[in-house]
A and B are shown apart, each in its own frame.
Chain A
Amino acid sequence: GQQLNQSPQSMFIQEGEDVSMNCTSSSIFNTWLWYKQDPGEGPVLLIALYKAGELTSNGRLTAQFGITRKDSFLNISASIPSDVGIYFCAGQKPNYGQNFVFGPGTRLSVLP
């Protein structure tokens, strides 16, 4: 069954607005990854988080590893049209090797 929940499922925002999305689980994770998928392409890694409380930025993107280790957050500042796509979180569970569990994704649309 679905082990990760992402919210919102989809969102429509105006260009220039900030975006916040999150990923939650009932299980503890050791690592959180955030990916973006453009139409017809495979997901591309945006940010990796390795320890609880960690806050990491990549340009206009900022992500945080929740203190409880059961959630993670992604913020996008000053959105632009090329931010359109599906954003996935992925978590690595303890004792799960290199395998990651993926959330169902948040679909972002940016209106000009």
Chain B
Amino acid sequence: NAGVTQTPKFQVLKTGQSMTLQCAQDMNHEYMSWYRQDPGMGLRLIHYSVGAGITDQGEVPNGYNVSRSTTEDFPLRLLSAAPSQTSVYFCASTPYPGQGGHGYTFGSGTRLTVV
């Protein structure tokens, strides 16, 4: 089924470890983004991309890197995990206006715990 696929669903890391959260979409959406969700905070934008080869920082980018080598994939890298990065991470994509509307399609999330 078409949509946004995130892997893994769950991950436990030790402080200082690095890892990559994967995100792929098969809807040919130009725009993709990463959010983190913390209790009482809603969803906060980490990084986003308006197309292959183009990325930019969101509201809370520190400690995270992204790249966009293809339209389909938008991985999020944690360079040196910290307990403050314990959160649920969501990837989202959307076409531009004129291509189907404004609403994001979200993946099902990656629950990350840093110990």
By a beta-carbon cutoff of 8 Å, the part of chain A in contact with chain B is 2, 4, 31, 33, 40-45, 48, 50, 88, 90, 92, 97-100, 102-105
By a beta-carbon cutoff of 8 Å, the part of chain B in contact with chain A is 4, 31, 33, 35, 40-45, 48, 50, 58, 90, 92, 94, 96, 101-109
18 additional A-B residue pairs with CB within 8 Å, beyond A31-B102, A102-B42: A2-B41, A33-B104, A41-B109, A43-B90, A43-B106, A45-B104, A48-B102, A48-B103, A88-B42, A90-B104, A92-B102, A97-B50, A98-B33, A99-B45, A99-B48, A100-B104, A104-B42, A105-B42
Interface residues of A, dominant DSSP: loop
Complex Cα distance, B46 from A102, in Å, reads: 13
Interface residues of B, dominant DSSP: strand
Could you say which residues of chain B place their CB within 8 Å of the CB of A102?
Answer: 35, 42-44
Q: Which of B42, B94, B104 contacts A2 (CB 8 A)?
A: B42
**Is A98 a contact of B42 with CB atoms below 8 Å?**
no
B40 and chain A: residue at smallest CB distance: A104
Could you say which residues of chain A place their CB within 8 Å of the CB of B41?
Answer: 2, 104
**Is B108 a contact of A99 with CB atoms below 8 Å?**
no
